Chain A
Amino acid sequence: MPKVTFKSHEGDVREVDVAAGRSLMLAATMNGVPGVDADCGGTLSCATCHVYVDPQWIDRLPAMDDVENDLLENTACERTANSRLSCQIIVTDELEGLSVEVPERQF
């Protein structure tokens, strides 16, 4: 089971297990990682599962589609070149060790 790491805005680090094939959003919500609100449950409707992907990882993720790109225009915290919606990142064995930072707020 791949391990992924969430860093909070305050610097707390939490490493969680996630079954390959599940989304990074689910890894956060199921493990009680604070700050990933995920209001719409991963249906690309809300933009409240925003994360900043570690620069070392950003280019190793599958590219985002237009809807995710559009939704990222509405994040509560500023969008950067490393911004992604965690619901659209499917965790695979290749992503073992993926690290992301959770923004200060989602709404």
Chain B
Amino acid sequence: MSGLLIVGGSYAGLNIALSARQHGFDGAITMLTEEAFLPYHRPPLSKGYLTGTVDAESLPLRGEAFYRDNRIDVIFGARAEHVEPEGRVVTTKGAFRFDKLAFATGTQARRIPLAGADLDGVVTLRSLADADHIRERLEHAPSVVIIGGGFIGLELAASLAKAGKPVTVLEGLPRVMARVTGKVISNFVERRFAAEGVRILTATGVERIEGHQGKVTGVRDSHGVIHAADLVVMAVGAVPNTGLAEPLGLASGQGIHVDSCGRTANGAMFAAGDCAFGINLFAGREIRLESVQNATDLGKAAGAAIAGRTMPNLSVPWFWSDQFDMKLQMVGFSQDVQQEVVRGSLEDGKFSVFYLRDERIVGIESVNAVSDHVLGRKLLAVDHRVSATMLSDPAFNPRDLIASKAAAA
């Protein structure tokens, strides 16, 4: 059966399918997933699902009724092996024809090729199966070392600490989350983890992973110190799954190249989500974003394009991470900024860092300051002007920047 074929069953794949239907695509829609589950929420895998407060029944993004109502056929356990540009995808579950093809192939956890990386007990976290595997192993793992102090590494560390497990985090850069947040947030989070008894060693790389009889026993860091471990989690980022698109000339190491509507250079092929690299209209440059928000919004744009509608992804990027009682929320970007202003109270653990470029707020990073974050999602999308001095005044309400805009309109 031809129609729309979607390779990948997560946020982007689901939203491509839904958006194509909503915009009038009436052909068959088939979604191929390597996994055994309908698309599911991934953020709980390092948090509630690991600690047991979230169960598997509450993970699916949508229940079966949704797929039936929208005539989306999901093929489980189908690993796509290659794409024939004439209109066929060969998978481990047979070949599937397409008129239109969407890559929603996501990423895979990056593995550093260290000595000992293939030892039993060295794991990564990306999928539900990975999370189940880690959960199982944790029962027999008195000590855990996490390589990487990004979102996933820190979320895992917080979950394990909550469960009373001694955990060490090794971060190669001088501060945690250096790729995704500014210094103020990094330093605040590091202090919070220290207060919870989690050992985070920054500016500490990994030399090798130690083992005995094929099983991991520890990690030797770049200073020569050995940290004993029964379980080592490599949480060092992700690489885009471009293997299917590269032979077609549609991808590079940066990802599958798309425009702001998720269209590739091939008129019948589209891509969205973590695997997609292209112009982000808010950022004003080509990037590849790894986030639920981007997978959802670019997926919607791609679905519309598949149905013949041009609806570029104009969204302001946002991200979140929950660690202990800290609700971290980021909107926009904090790179290439000129000024930063902290509002709120670090002492009370409720504050936001506002980032300015040319008297415009281009990014806000919040800790337990939801109203700042939600304001940012509106404010960053519209034209506004504000100075650092104004913003530094606690009596000034950034909400007025939207209000005055509306009044002027």
Contact = CB atoms under 8 A, between A and B. Distances in A.
Interface residues of A, number: 25
Contacts of A67: 327, 370
Interface in B374-396: 374-375, 377-378
Contacts of B59: 41
B373 to A, nearest CB: 8
Contact of A39 (B58, B69, B292): B292
Interface residues of B, number: 30
Contacts of B65: 30-32
Contact of B322 (A43, A47, A73, A74): A43
Contacts of B63: 29-32
Interface centre among B292, B374, B378 (most CB of A within 10 A): B374
B378 A74 contact: yes
Give the interface SS of chain B, mostly helix, strand, loop or mixed: helix
Interface string B34-67: 0000000101100000000000001111111111
Interface string B245-277: 000000000000000000000000000000000
B165 to A, nearest CB: 22
B387 to A, nearest CB: 24
B285 interface: no
B61 A45 contact: no
A94 to B, nearest CB: 21
Nearest to A37: B296
Contacts of A41: 41, 43-44, 58-59, 61
A107 B377 CA distance: 11
Given A39-B296, A44-B327, A73 B41 contact: no
Contacts of B69: 32
A66 B371 CA distance: 9
B168 interface: no
Interface centre among B60, B320, B370, B375 (most CB of A within 10 A): B370
B223 interface: no
A70 B369 CA distance: 9
B374 A47 contact: yes
A22 interface: yes
Given A40-B43, A44-B327, A70 B62 contact: no
A21 B68 CA distance: 26
Interface of A: 22-23, 26, 29-32, 37-47, 66-67, 70-71, 73-74, 107
Given A22-B58, A31-B66, A37-B296, 15 more contacts: A29-B61, A29-B62, A30-B60, A32-B63, A32-B66, A41-B44, A43-B43, A43-B44, A45-B329, A46-B293, A67-B327, A67-B370, A70-B370, A71-B370, A74-B377
